[in-house]
């Protein structure tokens, strides 16, 4: 059984941008409810199917499996709820951890989220200088919620 423990933040500026090259992601959801999500994702030339449980604190169950790219693309185009999440992800190492910075496109253009996976919820964390407000507990920032409440509909000041 896999457990994902992650914290999410909004970068305070774009000084992170020169630290990594981005990879294009497309993802959609076959199921979204309060207890579980089932996600299809393409990362460059690879496909994945991911099942996630309900988030409790900063943790949730997560199971991810590779699928053929053609299958993932067909599921994205024909089976997933719209709109799809399209983003570029940048992996940035900092103090022994890898920060994932997602720069969103489409209905979520303008949104940038940085997240880091931890081994425990109480793990000590030294934040990079470019990290701003923590949004771990704010469900608006969950990718699964960005399909029903995209960033373009958020009020100014979030």
**Residue 126 Cα distances to 83, 95, 99, angstroms:** 35, 7, 11
pLDDT at 157: 57
What residue has token string 């604190």?
57
Q: Are 92 and 98 in contact (CB under 8 A)?
A: yes
Annotated catalytic residues are 29
What residue spans define the domains of the chain?
Answer: 3-153
Q: Are 15 and 129 in contact (CB under 8 A)?
A: yes
Rounded Cα distance, 4 and 58, in Å: 8
Give average pLDDT by consecutive 10-residue segment, the chain, 158 residues: 88 95 96 91 96 88 96 97 93 96 96 96 94 95 92 79
Rounded Cα distance, 72 and 81, in Å: 14
Rounded Cα distance, 60 and 137, in Å: 13
Provide the token pair at 43. Answer: 């990362």
Name the residue among 8, 11, 42 with its Cα closest to residue 24.
42
- H/E segment holding residue 74: helix 69-78
CATH topology of domain 3-153: Hypothetical Protein Pfu-838710-001 (2.40.320)
Sorted by sequence, the CB contacts under 8 Å of residue 42 that are 6+ apart come out as 25, 26, 27, 48, 69, 72, 73, 76
């Amino acid at each position: 059984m896999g457990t994902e423990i992650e914290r999410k933040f909004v970068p305070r500026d774009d000084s992170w941008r020169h630290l990594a090259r981005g990879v294009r992601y497309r993802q959609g959801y076959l199921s979204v409810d309060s207890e579980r999500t089932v996600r299809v994702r393409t990362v460059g030339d690879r496909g994945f199917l991911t099942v996630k449980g309900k988030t409790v604190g900063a943790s949730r169950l997560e199971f991810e499996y590779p699928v053929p790219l053609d299958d993932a693309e067909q599921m994205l185009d024909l089976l997933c709820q719209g709109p799809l999440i399209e983003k570029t992800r940048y992996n940035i190492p900092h103090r022994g951890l890898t920060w994932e910075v997602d720069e969103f496109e489409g209905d979520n253009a303008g949104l940038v989220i940085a997240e880091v996976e931890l081994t425990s919820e109480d793990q000590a964390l030294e934040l990079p200088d470019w990290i701003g407000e923590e949004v771990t507990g704010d469900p608006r920032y969950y990718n699964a919620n960005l399909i029903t409440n995209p960033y373009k509909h958020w009020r100014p000041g979030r």
